[in-house]
Chain A
Amino acid sequence: MENYLLIPFLPFAAFLINILFGRAVLKEKAHWVSILAVAGSWVVAVMTLRDVLAGKTLNENVYTWILAGDFKVSVGFLIDQLTAIMLIVVTTCSTLIHIYSVGYMHGDNGYYRFFSYLSLFTFCMLMLVMANNFLQLYFGWEGVGLCSYFLIGYYFDKKSASDAGKKAFIVNRFGDFGFGLGIFVIFLNFGTTYYAPVFAQAGSLAAKSYNFLGFDVHLMTLISLLLFCGSIGKSAQMPLHVWLPDAMEGPTPVSALIHAATMVTAGVFLVARCNPIFSQSETALVVVALTGAITSLFAATIALVQNDLKRIIAYSTVSQLGYMFLACGVGAYTAGVFHLYTHAFFKALLFLCAGSVMHAMGGELDIQKMGGLRKYMPVTYVTMLIASLSIAGFPGLAGFFSKDEILWMAYSGSSPVGKIVWASGTLVAFLTAFYSFRLIFLTFHGKFRGTHEQEHHLHESPKAMTIPLMLLCVGAVAAGWVGIPALIGENIGIHNGIAEFMKPVLGHAEGHGTHGEELIVMAVSVVVGFAGIGLAWFMYMLRPDIPGKLTAQFSGVHKVLYNKYYVDELYSAVIIRPTIWTAKNILIGVTDAKVIEAIVNGVPAAIGGVSRQLRKIQTGLMHHYATIMAMGIFIIAALMLMRSW
């Protein structure tokens, strides 16, 4: 654990080397620097996990970052159970995706640039999860956002890509606005922004109310909700989800790493990290649970009708992130983090498989133009199938355990909205299975529907790509085995390792229900999963005429879903266009030009005008001056007389 600083700073060093020497010196060898660095981080992270498993934790300040009056914050690191899990998730996914990128980005013009951004991203993400105070968390938070901006807009000569990058950054700033205010409120009430003293005082300040903008509000609720604003942005929850689907403009490894496995889960991490604060506010937890539940349902319905391979998976990510918040909101932080961890594997795998498909299809993304690919790319097919089974909750696979844990905790926990979010979560499980297998069937089964030229080109991807697929596939299958519920585990002699491991940080949420109920909940989630798969098989394999008919019959609904409920259009009409209109027509057109400038240019003009008039009395005629002088003397004399009265 002494070497923990290597974990973030190895990738940082790789970033510096690549950005300075990549273009001129390293060129197509740039990946070596980045891969070696991130692999090194992974090794140290694994050693760190071993130490944490042995009971060691660490909370250490490296140097004082900002000091002003009583405000002091350091660059400092906290390594505990939650950090350790996140380190493993981040470094494992990052390493595999780095390797995959060697194949995927081969021959790209900005090869070194791509790898330097990946390294920078890994550094920022690690700084985020290893922070021991809110400000450093914010540093990592904005840093990953920046890398996301760079990588979404990686093909910057495309307008759509640079638009998407900009959108991601600005939408996130809306969330960070709340997040930043949350940090202010924390500092003003706790006198510090270090986690340890803040969380230690959370209990004693639980009942405190605080005057915010003239309203007396419950302090813990206020802080929780402000912090949650940040989560909503970063983890693409409603109403700030709009940036994530557009983020698919970035290269696919980026979608896998940043927009599935790591960065977008930072919001969940934030809620889990701040669980001592959130747990003091039932209101905040209900908001978190409902936001998660609504977002997961909303995104899943959109995913049903999309045809863009990556966007389907992107909506699936939004939906699954909602699941994690749902878990945190019912107080089951461990379940949320558990799902974060399993999701990282199967979702990264789904994206990388999608990338492999794109690679074979020459960049084609429309699944309506695919079909029958399993013949040509067996490894991609099998791994993607397993990932889809995992996300659909096929018993025994990673996704099954974490999803089941969340649903059971929602059902049996003490949250006032538990039963509602359980019901919606179960519905989402059905929809997830359906759209995941719609994608599988349309892409890999049936007949090829693309052009002849495309068909001619179909091939399995190179080893650099397929090996990471197979390794991630192991995770998509087995990652859940660390969290086998007692209900099953008791019978086969395995206990729920992750729940015990996370207990010191995340507490232990208890379900209140019988074994019978737990079995029923589990059975229901399995049944709806199979039902979703079955329906997809029925509609897209057995009766491929049905989808078209349904679309025709419910064209209104289809249109709304296909256009993502018109949220982008709404924001454009309500926020973006009015702001720019105001800037152009009111601020520049009226205030600056007509009011202030009128005064600025008007005063000299007025003075000029008056003096032009005054000039007229300068006639040069002696008798005029004499008359005026006489009048002056008369007025002065009159005034003096008046005063003496």
Chain B
Amino acid sequence: MEQVMTNTMGFPILSSLIFLPVIGAVVLLLLNRTNENLIKWVALLFSVGTFLVSLPLFSTFDKTTHAMQFVERHAWIPSWNINYYLGLDGISILFVLLSTLVAILCVLISWNSVKMKVKEFFISILIVESAMIGVFCSLDFFLFYIFWEAMLIPMYLLIGVWGGPNRVYAAVKFFLYTLVGSVLMLVGIITLYLYAGRTFDILALSKLILPYDMQFWLFWAFFAAFAVKVPMFPVHTWLPDAHTEAPTAGSVILAAILIKMGAYGFLRFSLPMLPEASRAMTPVMIGLSVIAIIYGGVICLAQTDLKRLIAYSSVSHMGFVTLGIFALNVQGMEGGILQMLNHGIVTGGLFLGVGAIYDRTHTRQIADYGGVASVMPVYASIFIVFTLASIGLPATNGFVGEFLILLGGFKASQWAGVLSATGIIIGAGYMLWLYQRVFFMETNQKVAGLSDIGARELAALLPMVVLIFWIGVYPTAFLGFMHESVRHLLERVSDGGVHGVSVAHNVLEILK
């Protein structure tokens, strides 16, 4: 089967998605910084525009093939065989859509909460958006690396400039942590480039048969970059600090998109390029995932800071994602990919929600809240939806993802399945306790008289609510994208030792 399909859209849609936010940023640059309203509206216009341009991806994607679609390819630095090479398959497409949506919500939720350097703030958001989309679209390893690193800079600024009191420490920690991992990945990329005969073509590299020793070392080099981003236990400690100190939009981008890139890296690079090593390392990866699920969950039980609690819950939830991916079966992997999306929606939503109330109270301490449901009933109903999705209640997206992951995990290793399933008990414990302390009981003096959320905040929160139920009730609309790509990837992982085509394929050929 063809590996790539020509772009049938009639225009370079992926490039448009990558460059529209950049153009927006340039326009913002030219605007007078005192006209904050205009700046906000322009930022909103460009993020909404990018989202609208991305919608045809959802409707025209061909779900019957694993081939790359909407492909664009241009020589970039021919002497090094570097190409500007873009395309999407069933694994990456949903994250592009999520990125374009999240950018809008970030603009909306930051509308009134950012008071200084407004212009630079929205420029950063748009640049981040562009880099996020680039990461998921790249089919050239070099190009991917550029986007991957490019994302760090505006993210570093978002945390370091507009963050909380301890923002500089958190930003530097975030930067160094991810940079160390990325440098090791770069070594890996160059090794692959030289070994494969000077190519950065991801699809070509995904067909290579590498010696096991090489796979082994490359696996850990990639692991350094991806595990930090996920973040997997024990390299998770940057996340609570970054999340806690980041402004709301920064937390949302971190939770919804940035930490998905680690898991995406495993799917796009580690598994198809290093299939034998991935198989061999499965016990380690599953073990670390299970630890993350339980460790991240139990730690939440003792948190006193709203954002820190949700940050640690991300460690637990991302443990589910890596468990699903390294279960190396259909249910686990599809569940894992869906859960990446789900976590983006739910945790993104939780941070949006926390941001909305933080704007009113300027405190993150859970003890400063209580009885919010009495003063902000609409907000409380939306937040309970996020809470329930986070603990995987059926009919929300969290259930579909967690169920498939646990089923796949149980299939791969019963112990992993059983231990991870305790995560659903712990999850209910900390999330409901959080909800109780913030929304129930007697109204705390500090929240008395707060106004309920307004139309702008509602517009930022409702898309997530809709997605939660949409995926929960009719997941086929989303799982359908990935069936073929996941099947193809799993074939590659299981037959990775055989040259070119799968054993099953050969057998079929002979039978014919």
Contacts and interface: CB of A to CB of B under 8 A. Distances in A.
Contacts of A67: 476, 479, 483
Given A66-B479, A146-B393, A157-B441, A596 B237 contact: yes
A162 B417 contact: no
B194 to A, nearest CB: 27
Contacts of B439: 156
A21 interface: no
B293 to A, nearest CB: 13
B299 A587 contact: yes
A566 interface: no
A153 B404 contact: no
Interface residues of A, number: 53
Contact of B441 (A146, A156, A184, A579): A156
A579 B298 contact: yes
Contacts of A157: 371, 374, 440-443
A538 interface: no
Contact of B331 (A69, A159, A176, A177): A69
Contacts of A169: 428, 432
B440 A162 contact: yes
Contacts of B424: 173, 176-177, 180
Given A184-B406, A184-B410, A174 B177 contact: no
B301 A143 contact: no
A71 B301 contact: no
Contacts of A19: 381
A213 B410 CA distance: 10
Contacts of A212: 414
Contacts of A591: 295
Contact of B302 (A173, A181, A184, A588): A588
Contact of B415 (A64, A138, A213, A592): A213
A166 B395 CA distance: 20
B192 interface: no
Contacts of A604: 176
B432 A69 contact: no
A65 interface: yes
Given A138-B394, A157-B371, A163 B436 contact: yes
Interface of A is mostly: helix
Nearest to B475: A66
Given A157-B374, A170-B429, A587 B395 contact: no
Contacts of B473: 65
A404 interface: no
A166 B298 contact: no
Given A68-B334, A70-B330, A156-B440, A588 B299 contact: yes
A71 B395 contact: no
A162 B439 CA distance: 10
Contacts of B410: 181, 184, 188
B9 to A, nearest CB: 28
A584 interface: yes
A600 interface: yes
A207 interface: no
B335 A156 contact: no
Interface in A546-591: 579-580, 582-584, 587-588, 591
A604 B175 CA distance: 13
A157 B371 CA distance: 6
Given A68-B479, A181-B417, A579-B301, A156 B373 contact: yes
Nearest to A589: B302
A274 to B, nearest CB: 19
Interface of B is mostly: helix
B442 A180 contact: no
Nearest to A69: B330
Contacts of B476: 64-67
Interface string A61-96: 001111111110000000000000000000000000
A71 B331 contact: yes
Given A67-B476, A157-B440, A170 B428 contact: yes
B421 interface: yes
B411 interface: yes
B188 interface: no
A537 interface: no
A597 interface: yes
A595 B233 CA distance: 12
Contacts, number: 137
Interface in A4-44: 19, 23
Interface string A122-137: 0000000000000100
A26 B237 CA distance: 49
A13 to B, nearest CB: 15
Interface in B329-383: 329-331, 334-335, 371, 373-374, 377, 381
Interface in A169-203: 169-170, 173-174, 176-177, 180-181, 184, 187-188
Interface string A142-166: 1100100100010011110011001
B422 interface: yes
B151 interface: no
A139 interface: yes
B234 interface: yes
A153 B236 CA distance: 35
A66 B234 contact: no
Interface string A594-614: 011100100010000000000
Contacts of A588: 299, 302
B418 interface: yes
B277 interface: no
Nearest to B338: A68
Given A173-B425, A597-B237, A66 B404 contact: yes
A221 B48 CA distance: 56
B76 interface: no
Q: Which of A70, A159, A162, A600 has the most CB of B within 10 A?
A: A162
A63 B475 CA distance: 11
A219 to B, nearest CB: 14
A583 B406 contact: no
B440 A187 contact: no
Interface in B419-470: 421-422, 424-425, 428-429, 432-433, 436, 439-443
B132 interface: no
Contacts of A70: 330
Nearest to B432: A166
A66 B429 contact: no
A66 B381 CA distance: 27
B171 to A, nearest CB: 14
A504 to B, nearest CB: 29
A584 B303 CA distance: 8
A595 B334 CA distance: 35
B407 A71 contact: yes
B388 interface: yes
B61 interface: no
A181 B418 contact: yes
A209 to B, nearest CB: 15
B145 interface: no
B403 interface: yes
B436 A162 contact: yes
B206 to A, nearest CB: 21
Contacts of A163: 436
A89 B309 CA distance: 43
Contact of B422 (A65, A177, A584, A587): A177
A142 B407 contact: no
A294 to B, nearest CB: 24
A592 to B, nearest CB: 6
Q: Which 4 A-B pairs have the closest CB atoms?
A: A69-B330, A583-B302, A162-B440, A139-B394
16 contacts: A65-B473, A65-B475, A65-B476, A66-B403, A66-B476, A71-B404, A139-B394, A153-B436, A156-B440, A157-B441, A162-B441, A173-B424, A213-B418, A583-B298, A592-B237, A596-B234
Interface of B: 173, 176-177, 234-238, 295, 298-302, 329-331, 334-335, 371, 373-374, 377, 381, 388, 393-395, 399-400, 403-404, 406-407, 410-411, 414-415, 417-418, 421-422, 424-425, 428-429, 432-433, 436, 439-443, 473-476, 479, 483
